Amino acid sequence: MTAAVMGVAVGCGSSTATTAAASGGSKPTLVVYSAQGYDQAVVDAFQKSTGIPTKLVDDSTGPLLAKVAAEKSNPQWGVLWTDGDEGFAALDQQGQLLKGYEPSVKFNAAGQAAVPKDQSYIPTGVTMAGTVVYDSSKTPTPPTSWQDLLTPAWKGKVGMNNPAVSGPTFPFVAGMMNLLGGEAQGKDFYGKLKANGLHVFPTNGDTLHAMSTGQIQVGLIQSSAGLGAAQTVKNPNIKTAFLKGVSLLPGVIGIDGRAPAAVQSEAKKFAEFVLSPAGQKAMLNGAPGSDSLYWPVVQGVSPLPAMPSLNSVQYQTVDPYVWGPKEAEINSWFTANIAK
């Protein structure tokens, strides 16, 4: 009764679910779940270019994946688009993604590194996890290796985000474990970092604030956050450095494996559009102070001028199928032992 009354009052009754609008010969609505800063710009450009009705649900990575998990018995999304491929590997293992599809584009080396074997998701751009962000006016000589961070010179001067709160921090934590040879070695490294006075903050904003007040001198955060910070507050002294072995953090698109064929075909068009010159233009202009600061994964597209050359970064790739399933366990270990 109440529901009916409110349906009238709010003036909306029809479902916007991917499956609901498939009747009458018209194009079904494509629903895009995304955590990317430029998503609205890309969705608008896609809709304009193809005429496919597209609707966006934007949220942070964590809550968005929580919503996807809650909808597991009856998914409402056609396209899922976030930074970090660990979640996608886990979704793939649960059989939720469309396998065997990649747009016919020429991926560059970083792009190829991020394509999974079963082609269950599509890379759209890359950033780096756990870069060294510092203020060169206060810290003229930043650390140059991961082991540096454990020396007395950096005691109490390093900060990072808690991976249980900040989505793009898990790839950094997992990346260090991968780099050092395993989970145990990685945990040992974070234990030593903590013993050397590591500060753990909830999110990027808190870590950057701590850096600007001088509580810490170095923040270990995602490259787009550091490069974006320099632009947002117009301070060219805020620099982002890439230590050897920094982890590649791909932004990827997954397609709902259980969506109707018509919706899956629209989702494929969406992925193709994102990697097309028009789509890349929308991605590069959609969030210039944050997520647009990425390296493209298709050949022939240049990143924004603020980006350093990808050739100068000695990055590693992290297998999401190994580390994705460990995310919950590692994050609760981190909260209980390192963030404590």
Partner 1 sequence: MTTNRLAPSPVTDRGRAALAPPSGERPGDRRAVAGLRWTGRAVRLLGGPLAAVAVGLVLLAPVAGFLLVAISPRMFGQGSAWFSVAAFRSALTGSTLQALLNTALTGVGAAVLAAAIGTGLALLLGRTKVFGGGLWRLGIWALLLAPSYLEALGWTRLVEPDGVLVQLFGVDAGWLRSLVMGPVGVIWVLGSRGVPFAFLAVSGVVAGLGRDFEDAARVHGAGLWSRLRITVGMLAPGLWAALAIVFAEAISDYGVAATLGADARFPLATFSLAASVTNFPADYPTAAAVGWLLMLLVVLAMLAQRAATRGRSYAVLSGRTRPVSQAPLRGWRSAAAQGGLGVFFLLALGVPTLGVVSASMLGQFGALGAHNFTFDNYRQVFHQSALLAPVMLSLRLAVITATVALVGGVLVARFLARSGGKGRGKAAGLLDLLMLGAVALPSIVLGAGYIFTYNLPLMNTLGIHIYGTLTLLTIGLLAGALPAASRLLVGSFSQLQDSMLAAARVHGAGTVRAWSTTVLPLVSRGLLWTWLLTFADRFLELPLASMLYPPGQAPLSVGVTKLIVNYDFGVGTASLVVACAGILLVIGLALALFRLLAPAGWHRLEQR
Q: Cβ closer to partner 1: 164 or 275?
A: 164
Question: How near is the Cβ of 92 to partner 1 at its closest, in Å?
Answer: 12
Site for partner 1 in 185-214 (CB under 8 A): 201-202, 204-206, 208-214
Residue 9 lies near partner 1 (rule: CB under 8 A): yes
For partner 1, the closer CB: 124 or 331: 331
Contact positions with partner 1 (CB under 8 A) in 250-289: 287, 289
Candidates 71-79, 103-111, 120-128, 299-307 — which segment interacts with partner 1 by CB under 8 A?
71-79
- Segment interacting with partner 1 (CB under 8 A) among 123-131, 139-147, 302-310, 329-337: 329-337
Scanning residues 222 to 241, which ones bind partner 1 (CB under 8 A)?
A: 225, 228-229, 232-235
Q: How far is the CB of 47 from partner 1 (least distance, A)?
A: 10
We find the least distance from the C-beta atom of residue 203 to partner 1, in angstroms, to be 8
Within positions 82 to 101, which residues make up the interface with partner 1, using CB under 8 A? 86-87, 90, 94
Query: Least separation, in Å, of the C-beta of 75 and partner 1?
Result: 9
Judged by CB under 8 A, the chain residues 96 through 155 that form the site for partner 1 are none
Q: Which is nearer to partner 1, 107 or 127 (CB)?
A: 127
Q: 3-state SS of the chain?
A: CHHHHHHHHHCCCCCCCCCCCCCCCCCCCEEEEECCCCHHHHHHHHHHHHCCCEEEEECCHHHHHHHHHHCCCCCCCCEEEEECCHHHHHHHHCCCECCCCCCCCCECHHHHHHCCCCCCEEEEEEEEECEEEEECCCCCCCCCCCHHHHCHHHCCCEEEECCCCCHHHHHHHHHHHHHHCCHHHHHHHHHHHHHCCCEEECCHHHHHHHHHHCCCCEEEECHHHHHHHHHHCCCCCEEEECCCCEEEEEEEEEEECCCCHHHHHHHHHHHHHHHCHHHHHHHHHHCCCCCCCCECCECCCCCCCCCCCHHHCCEECCCHHHHHHHHHHHHHHHHHHCCC
